[in-house]
Amino acid sequence: DAGITQSPRYKITETGRQVTLMCHQTWSHSYMFWYRQDLGHGLRLIYYSAAADITDKGEVPDGYVVSRSKTENFPLTLESATRSQTSVYFCASTAGNDEQYFGPGTRLTVT
């Protein structure tokens, strides 16, 4: 099916572990984004990518790493997870017209 998917949908990990969240879109959109959503803060941009091999920091990039070797994939890695990274993570994409479409989200718990 066309669209944007995220995996896993739920993840529990321990403090200090590395974890990678996957995002895949089938629209061939140029731009992809990672957000986190926390109560009281709304959605905050972590990283975005304008095209394959082009990434840039958003509002809250510390503790996260991204890569984009293929247009359709935009994985987000937490190099050493901390409890403060417990959140719901959303991936989004756009063709460049600003209208972002969101994936279903990944609920991450760091214990």
Partner 1 sequence: QKEVEQNSGPLSVPEGAIASLNCTYSDRGSQSFFWYRQYSGKSPELIMFIYSNGDKEDGRFTAQLNKASQYVSLLIRDSQPSDSATYLCAVNNNNDMRFGAGTRLTVKP
- Tell me which residues touch partner 1 (CB under 8 A): 31, 33, 35, 40-45, 48, 50, 56, 58-59, 90, 98-105
Closest CA to 84 of 68, 63, 65, 102: 63
- Closest to partner 1 by CB, 20 or 102: 102
Per-residue burial over 3-23, b if 16 or more Cβ lie within 10 Å, else e, is: ebebeeeebebeeeeebebeb
- Closest to partner 1 by CB, 63 or 105: 105
- Closest to partner 1 by CB, 75 or 102: 102
Taking the complex as a whole, how short is the minimal distance between the CB of residue 76 and partner 1, in angstroms? Answer: 15
Taking the complex as a whole, how short is the minimal distance between the CB of residue 27 and partner 1, in angstroms? Answer: 14
> Where are the alpha helices (H) located in the chain, listed in sequence order?
none
Taking the complex as a whole, how short is the minimal distance between the CB of residue 22 and partner 1, in angstroms? Answer: 15
CA distance 81 to 73: 22
